[in-house]
Amino acid sequence: MSDKPSVLFVCVHNAGRSQMAAAWLSHLAGDRVEVRSAGSAPADQVNPAAVEAMREAGIDISAETPKVLTVDAVKESDVCVTMGCGDTCPVFPGKRYLDWALDDPAGRGVAAVRPIRDEIRKRVEDLITEIAPEPTA
């Protein structure tokens, strides 16, 4: 059992919002946080506009694949962040649940995905401050 916090990001297809959020958290928090993402109805591939938007920010998510949401993934996470998937995420006592209302990047071009990417980054930075702040010297 790890002593570092774990976060699960969930959206319907695990192809856009949750992939970008997981990538931001891994990039910004490094090994201070365990990161997972999943979808209630996973797509076949990560949204190409999300891949391009993250590439522009210096983060490569092109090798990621959408994963199905499992009860175990929720059980193993301290914080579950849902993004537009409603009540599909199982609820367990003692877990922290956040619902981030974000536009769905599905079917949008990279120009429309950039503001979503940037909003996700801000929310991830706030989450890091709460659950895994930088260690002080």
* Beta pairing partners, 9: 37, 81
Amino acid identity, position 65: T
> Shortest CA distance to 74 belongs to which of 42, 36, 100, 102?
36
Distances from the Cα of 94 to the Cα of 27, 41, 80, angstroms = 27, 25, 11
Hey, which residues are catalytic here? 11, 85, 89
